[in-house]
Amino acid sequence: MPFEPPVVSPTTLPEAYAIAAATPHRPLAGGTDLLVQLTGEIGPPPERVLDLWRLDELRGIVIRDGTLELGALTTYTEIRRSAACLAHAPALVEAATTIGALQIQNRATLGGNVMNASPAGDTLPVLLALDAELVAGGLAGERTIPAAAFWPAYRQTAVRPGELLVRIRIPLVDGGQQRFRKVGTRRAQAISKVVVALAWRADPQSGRWRDVRLALGSVAATPIRAAGTEAVLESAPPTEAVADRAVEALIAELHPIDDVRSTAAYRREVAGRVLRRLLRDAGGW
Amino acid sequence: MTYRLTINGASTEVAVPGMRRLLDVLREDLGLTGAKEGCGEGECGACTVLLDGAVAVSCLVPVCQVDGCDIRTVEGLGRGATGTGATTGATDAATDAADPQLGPLQRAFLETGGAQCGICTPGMLMAGEAFLASGAEPTEQAIREAIAGNLCRCTGYTKIVEAIALAAARQTELGA
């Protein structure tokens, strides 16, 4: 049988903070990543586990202060069923729909995806493209970290020892558009070869794009923004000529690797094609 | 720690480590061997059970997270089934389609040839059961999405989809 580390299941957030501050614990949300690690086959299993599942303070989806706020324990099923998410974060709903299958979506959480910090984490490019903020809490209080600064290196997060991720905030953007595409081996249960999230606001007069955000997963050691490509698209209309330049810029700035799931060449090519199709659909050409 | 579980309608208590996988609690501690361990990493769905009515892979759920939960396993699908694991699942090749112990979905699997080697069958049945309970329109696409997390290497899925569609049609006829 797999390793069975000691676990504590606090029922209030202050209690959880106190436990996390006293001794290092691996936080456990929906378990869909952590339980796989109990075999010890993919690295040392966690020594002590802090089960967050009973912390109802970390659940729920609300609109507050111009943002869509999701508790860290929000499951993908809850995201799929949320009218607020559908209205304000359709790309996140799309990502939730493509993750695992129903068995995983019923347990796995947005906060778990954020904290697992896999470069293939499907929601992470969405959070980058939507300028999300991540709120970490601890005995010293809460602090807010922009998604752009949250994953500094491979499998690392900006959350400090003793802190827990408590919620995710996504700003509401009037007239904001967002798209999500995932390329994997099949439609369900696939770990991504390439993930693309794109967000923009179209200027109502000129049709030119503003505040363009293009984020990708599975093409670098962390989820990334494609800043060079964003610069090509910023203040430009989604024409075929602009798409040509944007795809060229994207292929030039991506440096993926060959691994068990795909090759660098395939990832670069597919990322370019996905971007071209998104621009073609938006531009109607 | 002691955890209180309701399994197939019967309350039970288990004194086990909190990080023990629900799959191991079911199979090793409670003798309910219907749920199968295929991959042990949430890819294959053979260990699918219902937690408060929702499908979950029991290999990825620690028992500390199901304290007080209503759990259903394949042992609970048959008529007159109890939490003791005394009834057989549809994987029993010798079982007759008319066996009164079989539930409607199990009978449909048997009639359409929805089970071959049987390893995926308990998980497929639980995914199918959750789909039937959801009241969703039983289109082929909806059924396929409902079992997208369950791998079968024998049937090619067609017979399984037919089985769930047949059970759905009968459920509608009964006005259930």
Q: Write out pLDDT tens, residues A212-239.
A: 999 999 999 999 999 999 999 999 999 9
pLDDT value of position A161: 96
From chain A residues 3-32, the ones with a CB under 8 A of any chain B CB are 3-7, 9, 28, 31-32
Residue in the structure block whose two tokens are 């292929």: A251
Q: What are phi and psi of B35, to 5 degrees?
A: -65, 130
Interchain proximity B149–A102, CB inside 8 Å: yes
pLDDT of B86 higher than 70: no
* ipTM field: 0.94
Share of chain A above pLDDT 70, in %: 100
Q: Per residue in B45-85, pLDDT tens?
A: 999 999 999 999 999 999 999 999 999 999 999 876 654 44
Q: Nearest-CA distance from A75 to chain B in Å?
A: 12
How high is the pLDDT of residue B125? 98
**How far apart (Å, rounded) are the C-alpha atoms in residues B97 and A74?**
42
B27-36 mean pLDDT:
98
pLDDT category, A188, cuts 50, 70, 90? Answer: confident
Helix (H, G, I), strand (E, B) or coil at B98: coil
pLDDT of residue A231: 98
Q: How confident is the model at residue A251 (pLDDT cuts 50, 70, 90)?
A: very high
Chain A, chain B: beta-carbon pairs less than 8 Å apart: 97
Minimal Cα distance from A1: which residue of B?
B24
Residue A31 to residue B18, Cβ atoms within 8 A: no
**Residue burial A169-201, b: 16+ Cβ < 10 Å; e: rest:** bbeebeebebbbbbbbeeebbbbbbbbbbbbbe
Picking from A102, A105, A185 by the largest number of B CB atoms within 10 A of its own CB, the best residue to mutate is: A102
B106-127 core/surface letters (b: 16 or more CB in 10 A; e: else):
bbbbbebebbbeebbbbbbbbb
| CB nearest to A101's CB, from B28, B40, B149 | B149
Contact between B42 and A32 using a beta-carbon 8 Å cutoff: yes
d(CA B157, CA A194): 28
Please answer yes or no on whether B18 and A9 come within 8 Å at the CB atom.
yes
pLDDT the model gives residue B90: 44
Rounded CA-CA distance A232/A213 in Å is 11
pLDDT of residue A247: 98
- Measured between beta carbons, which residues in chain A are less than 8 angstroms from residue B20? 1, 4
Residues A35, B62: C-beta atoms closer than 8 Å = yes
- Contact A103/B59, CB-based, under 8 Å? no
Nearest residue of A to residue B28, measured between CA atoms:
A1
